[in-house]
């Protein structure tokens, strides 16, 4: 966002989706099992929120049900977040963010994977990789006036590593369990 690569309206829709306040003005949901009411709400509101790109997408989904259903259900050779959008929508959605917005309308279960792809492509892979915590690095970056807090997962206990580091540095070590 700081670099101006993300449109605020697109970002807002991506985060919140479409909220229908009055369904009486909304086109009727098509009778396809694979389109949930929430997906239809998101899709019809997307047309209103970002009309410069998405005008006609709800109609396109209705007219090309089989193609959109195939995209929706795709797993192999690639899942929906990596597959081309049906018809003209692959071209209309010029940016990865616009494609993620369409994915968010239909497949919220695949959004995390799309976000990882986006971060890797536009930032650094470092932001999506879990690497083990190096206690020495944490110590070197810390200050004596700032506490270091470990939020632990089940089965993780840094006590031995901390004790070893304290010995190497000649520092006293006391452990207090907050559990």
Tell me how far apart the alpha carbons of residues 87 and 69 are, in angstroms, rounded to a whole number.
Answer: 12
Tell me how far apart the alpha carbons of residues 48 and 88 are, in angstroms, rounded to a whole number.
Answer: 19
**Residue 89 domain-assigned?**
yes
Higher pLDDT, 89 or 154: 89
**Residue 178 domain-assigned?**
no
User: 175: pLDDT confidence band, cut at 50, 70 and 90?
Assistant: confident
Residues 66 and 151 in one domain: no
Residues 165 and 95 in one domain: no
Residues 79 and 24 in one domain: yes
**Residue 32 domain-assigned?**
yes
Listed in order, strand segments (DSSP E) in 13-150 are none
Q: What is the pLDDT of residues 18-33, one digit of tens each?
A: 988 889 999 999 999 9
Q: Is the pLDDT of residue 144 over 90?
A: no
Higher pLDDT, 154 or 66: 66
Residues 113 and 139 in one domain: no
Higher pLDDT, 36 or 19: 36
pLDDT at 179: 66
Q: Which residue range forms the structural domain that includes residue 154? A: 135-169
Q: What is the pLDDT of residues 64-90, one digit of tens each?
A: 999 999 999 998 767 889 899 999 999
Tell me how far apart the alpha carbons of residues 55 and 52 are, in angstroms, rounded to a whole number.
Answer: 7
- The total of structural domains in the chain comes to 2
Residues 145 and 121 in one domain: no
Distances (CA, A) of 134 to 27, 131, 163: 55, 9, 13
Residues 80 and 165 in one domain: no
**How confident is the model over 98-125, as a mean pLDDT?**
92
Residues 103 and 164 in one domain: no
Q: Is the pLDDT of residue 177 over 90?
A: no
Contact 39, 105 (CB under 8 A): yes
Tell me how far apart the alpha carbons of residues 171 and 179 are, in angstroms, rounded to a whole number.
Answer: 25
Tell me how far apart the alpha carbons of residues 136 and 161 are, in angstroms, rounded to a whole number.
Answer: 9
């Amino acid at each position: 966002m700081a670099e101006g690569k993300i449109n605020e309206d697109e970002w807002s829709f991506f985060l919140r989706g479409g909220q229908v306040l009055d369904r009486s003005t909304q086109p009727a949901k098509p009778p396809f099992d694979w389109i949930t009411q929430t997906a239809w709400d998101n899709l019809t509101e997307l047309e209103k929120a970002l009309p410069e790109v998405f005008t006609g997408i709800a109609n396109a989904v209705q007219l090309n049900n089989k193609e959109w259903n195939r995209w929706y259900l795709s797993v192999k050779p690639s899942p929906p977040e990596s597959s081309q959008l049906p018809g003209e929508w692959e071209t209309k959605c010029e940016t990865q963010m616009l494609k993620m917005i369409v994915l968010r309308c239909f497949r919220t279960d695949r959004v995390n994977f799309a976000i990882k792809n986006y971060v890797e492509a536009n930032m650094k892979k470092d932001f999506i990789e879990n690497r083990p915590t190096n206690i020495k690095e944490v110590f070197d970056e810390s200050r004596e006036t700032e506490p270091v807090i470990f939020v632990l997962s089940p089965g993780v206990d840094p006590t031995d590593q901390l004790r070893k580091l304290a010995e190497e540095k000649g520092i006293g070590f006391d452990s207090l369990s907050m559990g």
